[in-house]
Amino acid sequence: MAVSKKLKTSVRARPVAVTIAVTVVGYGLVIGTFLGVIDFYPDLSKGTVDVLTHLIAVINTGALAALLAGVYFISNRDVHKHAISMLIAFSLILLFLVVYVFRVGGGETKAIVAPDLVTTVYRVMLAIHILLSIVSVPVVVYAVVLGLTRTPAELAESLKSTVGRVAASAWILSLTLGIVTYFLLNHVYDSKPLESVLIVGLVSLRPLSPLTVFRSLLARLHQ
């Protein structure tokens, strides 16, 4: 109990430092996995990759539902239910992170095969989704740190409400776009292994354009 109280006091006194530390660890885990620097993941079969892909969508849908519930509860001044909803959403995002790095680290990724217009819209949504995911991490973590270490009265006098609104808005839009792009890639249109995009460029001895590489990276980051 004493250790827990001491830890809470320490976190309470340094919310920005804790936010930075957690954000750096999260970014490092994802980027390290993406670049192959962190490479202890087991090789996954296509079936396992598909299961994890669908599981990620379920987790994100649950997180989105919890977020929307949290927004509803706080708009009705139900602070207790709001806090529970937000903690559920944050816990689901942590679960998503674990599943995601294993999914990316151990299995192949896919690129969408669709008409040009659909592909363009898909990539725009995917880019916004990824950008918001990156930007929202420190904001969400900061809001959670404040929420866990301060009383409702203290929160009312802090930046929590403003930070919380920004975090929730970015988070909700990011999750929504992520779910939409998941359905487009996995249930509406066909897909192909992302590696084939790079292989075609190498076999044909033609240099890949920066746009092609960027599109490949977008698909790699998401699926």
pLDDT of residue 201: 39
Nearest to 106 by CA among 59, 185, 60, 53: 53
At 16, the pLDDT band (50, 70, 90 cuts) reads: confident
pLDDT tens readout for residues 172-206:
999 999 999 999 999 999 888 765 444 333 333 44
Q: 56-87: buried (b, 16+ CB within 10 Å) or exposed (e) per residue?
A: bbebbbbbbebbbbbbebbeeeeeeebbebbe
Gap between the Cα atoms of 10 and 183, Å rounded: 43
Contacts of residue 132, defined as CB under 8 A and 6 or more positions apart, other chains included, come to: 170, 171, 173, 174, 177
Domain boundaries, position 110: 2-222
Reduced to 3 states, what is the DSSP secondary structure of residue 112?
strand
Q: In which region does residue 205 sit, left (phi positive, over 0), alpha (psi from -120 to 50) or beta (all else)?
A: left
**Ranges assigned E (strand) in 86-216:** 110-113, 190-193
Residue 170: give its domain's CATH number: 1.20.120
In the structure encoding, which two tokens stand for residue 60, read together? 């994100």
Q: pLDDT of 122-174, one tens digit each?
A: 999 989 998 888 888 888 888 888 888 877 777 766 666 777 788 889 999 99
Contact 34, 221 (CB under 8 A): yes
Tens digits of per-residue pLDDT, 26-47? 888 888 877 777 777 788 888 8
* Total of domains in the chain: 1
